[in-house]
Structure 1
Amino acid sequence: MTPPATPPPGDDALTLDRAHVFHSWSAQGALAPLTIAGGLGCEVWDDAGRRYLDFSSQLVNINIGHQHPRVVAAITEQAGLLTTIAPGHAHLARGRAAQRITQHAPDGMNKVFFTNGGADANENAIRMARLHTGRDKIVSGYRSYHGNTGAAVVATGDWRRVPNEYASGHVHAFTPYLYRSDFWAQDEAQECERALAHLHRVLQCEGPSSVAAILLETIPGTAGVLTPPPGYLAGVRELADRYGILIILDEVMVGFGRTGQWFAFDGFDVRPDLVSFAKGVNSGYVPAGGVIISDEIAATFDERVFPGGLTYSGHPLAMAAIVGTLDAMADEGIVENARRVGAEAIGPGLAALAEKHPSIGEVRGLGVFWALELVRDRETREPVSPQSMVIVRDGCLARGLLPFTADNRIHVVPPCVVTTDEVATALAVYDEVLTTLEESL
C-alpha cells in the first residue's frame, strides 16, 4: 500500500481538521495532531509518506494490526450484501459474531448484547446488574477508566470523572498497586490482603445489600497496566458471592489477545457475571462493543423487558468485522503470538532497559500490554514531569515510533501481530529516548 497523492491546497487533512473537527479530552486552540494517511500491519504513515511503527495500537485497540486483509474482505463482502439493519431483526452476521465471542467465554455465558463501543457496553452492564439484583450501587476502582457516558464515566476513577459526575449510586475503592501502595504493603501478598480488606470495609460501610455490582478492569489499563496480584480477583469473587453482589469485568482494553489470552481473566482465578468488551474484538475497524451475559442474568429478561437499546446494536458491518477478526486470530495463532512475544521479547527487553536506565522505576505487564513507569529518582519514586514526557513523546516520533504515553508512563502496547524484529526496533528507540531524557533530569 502506498501513500495517496498530495491533496490540493486547502483540502489537506490537517487544514480541514483544524477548521472543523472538535477533539476529545483537549483544549482546542493549540492542537496540532499528527496526520495519518494509511497503515498496514504494525505501521502507519503520514501524508508525506513518513512511516511510524505503531506501538500505541492507536488507543490500544488495533490488536490484529492495521488493514488486515481478512477483516477488510469481511467488511467488503458484508457491504455488498446488507450494509445496515434495525437491531430488532435477526441477521446472520450478528448471530455469527455472538457465537464466535461466546465460544471464548466461560461456560454458562451464552448471550451477547451488542453496543457501539466500550463506554455503552459498561453502561448497559451496569443497567443489567441493577435490574437483575434490584440494587443500585456500583463499586469501582479509583484507578480506572470505564468510558465517557453517563454512568460509565462516573464509575471511572480518574480525573475525567470529576467534571462529569451527574449519575448517582457510584462508590469507589482503592485497588492494588504495589509500586505506589495505598496500604503500606511490602510485597504482593500484603498488597492483596490489604486491598481485599479495604474493599470489604467499603462494602460493609456502604451496606452490602445496596450494592449491585463490583465493576473492575481485569487489568487497569489507562491507569498504568496494573496487573493484580495473585489471589486478588479470586478474593473479590469470594466477597461478591458472600453478599450476593455481581462482578462486571471490563475487558474493553485487555480482551481478545492483548494479554496473550482470549480474555485477560483467563489468566486469573475468577469467573465474572458480566463482561464488557470492545476495541480488540474487531480492532475498531467498524465501531463495536458489547456485554457477555451469564445465563442467569439473561434469564431475568426472558419475561421482563430489558429497557435498553441502540439503533446500531449489532450493525452488520461491525459484526462482519468481528467474525473476520476472531476467525483470523484463531487461524493465524495471533493470541499465541502476543503471549510468546511478550514472554520472549518485550518482557526481557524492557527488563534490560530497566537495568540500564535509572529513570525506569518499574516495568509491569504481560502479552503485548506493558508499562514503563518513569521517575526522577528511584529511591523517592518521584514521577518525571509532564515536560519530561513531552521529551519522550517527541523523541519517539522523531525516531519513527508512535508511542502511547500517559502521566509519567510509556505504555508498550503494539498490535498482537507484532514481530520480534519490530520489538527490537522499538526497544532501540526507547533506549535512545530514555538516554536523552536522563540527560535532562
Structure 2
Amino acid sequence: MDPQSVLLAHVTGAPNSRQAARALLDAGCLSACHGSLAWNAPPQWWRLLPGSVRTFLQKRLFSELQGARLINHPIPEFLRLCRPWAGTSNAAGWFSIERINQMFDQAVARDLEESGATAVYGYFDTSLFTFREAKRLGLRTIYELPTPYWRATKRFVTAARQSRPEWADTLPSPEELSESGPRRDEELRLADLVVVPSDFVKDSLDEAPPFLAPVEVVPYGCPHVVKHDHHVPCEGMPLRLLFAGTVSQSKGLADLLEAIDPLGGQIELSVAGDFAGVGQVAQIIGKPQVRFLGRLPHASLLEVMRRQDVCVLPTWYEGLSLVLLEAMSQGLPVLTTVNSGLAGLIEEGRQGWLVPVGSPLAIRERLEKILFEPSSLLSNSAEAAEWARRHSWGIYRQRLQQALNARLSMT
C-alpha cells in the first residue's frame, strides 16, 4: 500500500477513530479524514458563537490531527441534533439514525474516486456504500468493529430485556438489530481486514455468516495517567462508587442499583451520563445512596473519577469500554463484567474485578469484600494506574500500525 493513501471515515469522531486517524497520520498513510464536523483548530468565526455552542463544538476539535486533511459532511450532524425535536413520527424518516448514517456513508462514497486513496478505513453502520465503491475502484477496505457483532448483541439485548422488562425502553430493539443485520453482514463481507478492540468482539464474529477477512485484535488505549493521592474510605465513611455511561440496562445500571440497595449508607453511588429512557428517572433521582451528576464534559468526568474509590460498570455487552480505560488512567480500579472487553486484559483482584453478566448478587458480594478490607484499594489504585501506563493510546497506535503493515503492507 502506498504512503499517504488511507481515507478514514467516522461520522462522530469518537476517541478510537481519532487515534486510528493519528496512527495513520504518524505513519504517513492518511490521505483524508471524513467526519460530520471536525476542525484542527477553532475557525475564525468560532468566537462569534454563543458559549454553549462553542462548548458543544469543542469535542469536534481534532488538535491531535494537525496537518491532516479533514473533510466535513455537516448535514448528518444537523439531523442528529434535531432528533429530540423531530418526534417519534420521524423515527423511520430523515431523522432516523439509520438514515443519518446512510447519508454520511453515501457522501464519503461519492468523494472516493477523486480522493486519491488506495484504501478506506470505515466503521460499522457507515461503510456499506463506501466499501461497495471501494471494491468498484479496486481499493482495499479496513473495517473496524468496536462493538460485538450484531447477532451476539441481539442475544444479549434479548436476555437483558427479559430480565428487566421495566428497563426495556433503555435497550435497543431486537427487531431493529435484525433489520440492520443484512447491511452489517455485507459490510463485513466486503472487508479485506477487520480490526476489533477485544477477544470478546472477535469471538462474537463466530456468529457471523462466512467472511474472508482476517481479524486483528488491537485493544484501545488509556489517556495520560494523572498522578494523585488516592485516599481509601475512613471508618464510618461510605465506599464511593462511580457509574459513568448511558443510564441504561445495556450498561447494567439496574443490576448495580439492586446490588447496592441492601448495603445502605455504606455505599455512595455517583451516576454520570444521559438517560436512555424516561421510566428510570424515579429509580435514580431521590435515592439516598445515589447522586445523579448528569452528562459531564470529559475533563470534568476525569476529575470526578479522581475523587472516587471504584468505577462500576456491569455492562451486558461492550467492545472495550473506554470509560473503564479512562478510570484506570485516573488510578481508579474497576468492577465490571466478563462482557466488558477487559477479560484477558486485566488481572483479577489487581486492577479490578470481573463478575458474571446480570448478577446483582455477584456485584454485592464483591463490594462487601472491598468494604471489609478498604485498605486494599490503595494497591488496586496503583495497579490500575500502572496498567494504564502500559496500555496508553501511544501503544494502541503502534499496534494498529503493526497490524496494518502485517496485513496490508502499508510501508
**TM-score band w.r.t. shorter chain:** 0.3 to 0.5
The alignment's TM-score, normalised by the length of structure 2, stands at 0.34
Question: Where is the helix percentage greater, Structure 1 or Structure 2?
Answer: 2
The structure with higher relative contact order (CA 8 Å, sep 6+) is 1
